[in-house]
């Protein structure tokens, strides 16, 4: 079974329920306080001997459960009951995102890393039937997401990427390219690596890695994020506020700069393009142009072909509870009163 929510944002309505509970408890407290002011509680109870102290709480619980059912019905949970193989035409694309500390520089707002995420997110939004995967890299490369056609999952993984995912720092472009090439499991599909970085390369072999990718029929489009003037690398405290900037062994603030030459060479080696990552709209347009030059290939993917809505069950339970609530009177039930389950006499 596979599950999904049609309107998950409506789950925030459930936050109303704790507020209602607090209001109910306050009302109970306020009533008791006023009764004490009026007179002795035992005497007050004798003035209304048929009034139940349990029924109001039962009626309230019934209404709360009914509201929960209505909210869940609005969210509309769905259950996938059928999987089928779907044939698509597209390109296999691996995004290789630089998550080294230099990507925290804020010479590109809000930061190089956040700007890179925005770029990749918008590129994903512009895709059609392409399969995508994600690799993160710094001093070494790290597999983040295998090839998939589920773009919503890909964007979720992308958003969670940060500079703490890879322990070894630096920027090893060759490791990123080598790992990305392993993502392409089909021999006859069109393949593209979109490498997003500031171009700083502390490893060796990026040129050799791009040559190997070229031999395997893989194109590498590079996107440079940063400025030629560069900027310092902020170090933030637990509160997210910048406490200082990274310094070298001599105590000087390190300035990290965009190095487009390295990225241009990688792209040229595979007969692809280097793109400046300043303007998001322009980057997306240039990526589209790159994709238009690559022949689409047919591939198969497993997809859920049939979802069944489940809102009617929640709605039915909610209406049943509301119907029961109409017949709940606040006076004591005769046969329960005889049993005295709730010590009401």
**2-6, 103-107, 111-115: range with lowest mean pLDDT:** 2-6
pLDDT single digits (tens) 68-99: 999 998 888 887 666 566 666 778 999 999 99
Asked if residue 338 has pLDDT above 60, the reply is no
Average pLDDT estimate for 136-151: 91
**pLDDT of res. 185:** 77
What percent of the chain has pLDDT above 70?
81
Asked if residue 12 has pLDDT above 60, the reply is yes
**pLDDT of res. 2:** 55
pLDDT single digits (tens) 236-275: 877 777 788 889 888 899 999 999 999 999 999 999 999 9
What percent of the chain has pLDDT above 90?
49
Asked if residue 149 has pLDDT above 90, the reply is no
Is pTM beyond 0.75 here? no
Region class of 217: left (phi > 0), else alpha (psi between -120 and 50), else beta: left
Give all domains of the chain, ordered by start, each with its CATH number. Answer: 2-76+310-339 (no CATH), 85-301 (3.40.50.410)
Comparing 338 with 282, the larger pLDDT belongs to 282
Q: What is the 3-state secondary structure (H, E, C) of the chain?
A: CEEEECCHHHHHHHHHHHHHHHHHHHHHHHHHHHHHHHCCHHHHHHHCCCECCCHHHHHHHHHHHHHHHHHHHHHCEEEEEEEEEEEEEECEEEEEEECCHHHHCCCCCCCHHHHHHHHHHHHHHHCCCCEEEEEEECCCEEEEEEEECCHHHHHHHHHCCCCCCCCCCCCCHHHHHHHHHCCCCCCCCCEEEEEEECCCCCCCCHHHHHHHHHHCCEEEEEEECCCCCCEECEEECCCCCEEEECECCCCCECEECCCHHHHHHHHHHCCCCEEECCCHHHHHHHHHHHHHCCCCEEEEEEEEEEEEECHHHHHHHHHHHHHHHHHCCCECCHHHHHHCCCCCC
Confidence label for 336 from pLDDT (cuts 50, 70 and 90): very low
Asked if residue 307 has pLDDT above 70, the reply is no
Average pLDDT estimate for 186-199: 88
pLDDT single digits (tens) 200-248: 877 678 899 999 999 999 999 999 999 999 999 998 877 777 788 889 8
**pLDDT of res. 236:** 81
């Amino acid at each position: 079974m596979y599950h999904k929510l049609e309107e998950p944002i409506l789950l925030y309505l459930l936050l109303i329920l704790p507020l209602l509970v607090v209001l109910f408890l306050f009302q109970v407290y306020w009533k008791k306080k006023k009764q004490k002011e009026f007179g002795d509680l035992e005497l007050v109870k004798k003035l209304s001997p048929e009034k139940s102290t349990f029924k109001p709480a039962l009626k309230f619980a019934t209404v709360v459960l009914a509201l929960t059912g209505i909210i869940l019905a609005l969210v509309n949970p769905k259950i996938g009951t059928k999987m089928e193989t779907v044939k698509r035409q597209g390109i296999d694309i691996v995004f290789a995102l630089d998550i080294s500390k230099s990507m925290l520089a804020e010479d590109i707002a809000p930061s190089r890393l956040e700007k890179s995420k925005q770029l990749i997110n918008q590129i994903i939004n512009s895709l059609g039937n392409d399969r995508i995967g994600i690799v993160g890299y710094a001093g070494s490369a790290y597999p983040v997401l295998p090839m998939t056609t589920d773009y919503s999952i890909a964007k979720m993984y992308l958003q969670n990427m940060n500079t703490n995912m890879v322990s070894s720092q630096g920027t090893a472009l060759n490791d990123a390219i080598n790992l990305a090439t392993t993502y392409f499991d089909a021999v006859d599909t069109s393949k593209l690596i979109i490498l997003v970085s500031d171009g700083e390369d502390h490893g060796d072999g990026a040129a050799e890695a791009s040559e190997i990718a070229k031999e395997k029929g893989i194109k590498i489009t590079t996107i440079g994020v940063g400025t030629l003037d560069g900027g310092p690398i902020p170090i933030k405290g637990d509160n997210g506020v910048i406490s200082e900037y990274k310094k070298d062994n001599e105590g000087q603030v390190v300035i990290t700069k965009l190095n487009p030459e390295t990225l241009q060479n990688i792209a040229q080696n595979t007969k692809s393009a280097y793109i400046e990552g300043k303007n998001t709209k322009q980057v997306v347009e240039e990526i589209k142009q790159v994709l238009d030059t690559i022949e689409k290939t047919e591939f198969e993917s497993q997809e859920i072909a049939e979802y069944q809505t489940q809102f009617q069950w929640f709605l039915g339970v909610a209406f049943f509870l509301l119907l029961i609530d109409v017949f709940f009177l606040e006076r004591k039930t005769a046969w329960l009163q005889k049993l005295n389950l709730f010590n009401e006499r």
